[in-house]
Amino acid sequence: MRVCKAFLVGMAIMVMVGLGGCCGGGTTVKEQPITTTTTTNTTTLGEELKSLKDAYDKGIITEKEYNAAKEKIIKQRTETDKK
């Protein structure tokens, strides 16, 4: 009787371990599509430079900041227009 009981307990453990291994796997990870963002300028180069000049005239930015920003805007716009 003891042998039969030990055998049944052993078999139950083996079944549980076997089923646990089967049920836990097999999940797949769904790939997410790659998205890209494109920004479109809704203002013209002239409008941006005018807004920058207004900020300089009002004392919001310094002359050094104004000149650096102006060069950056012009450079970005001319590079974008070439593409």
Mean pLDDT of the chain: 78
Give the H/E segment covering residue 38. none
pTM for the predicted model, two decimal places = 0.48
Q: Where are the domains of the chain?
A: 42-83
Contacts of 80 (CB under 8 A, 6+ apart): 41
Residues 2-24, mean pLDDT to the nearest whole number: 60
- The residue among 63 and 81 whose pLDDT is bigger is 63
Asked if residues 47 and 73 have their Cβ atoms less than 8 Å apart, the reply is no
Which residue is associated with the tokens 């453990």?
A: 13
- The residue among 66 and 1 whose pLDDT is bigger is 66
- Tell me the per-residue pLDDT of 51-78, one tens digit each, with 9 for 90 and over: 999 999 999 999 999 999 999 999 998 8
Dihedral angle over CA of 6, 9, 13, 19, nearest 10: 130
pLDDT at 25: 55
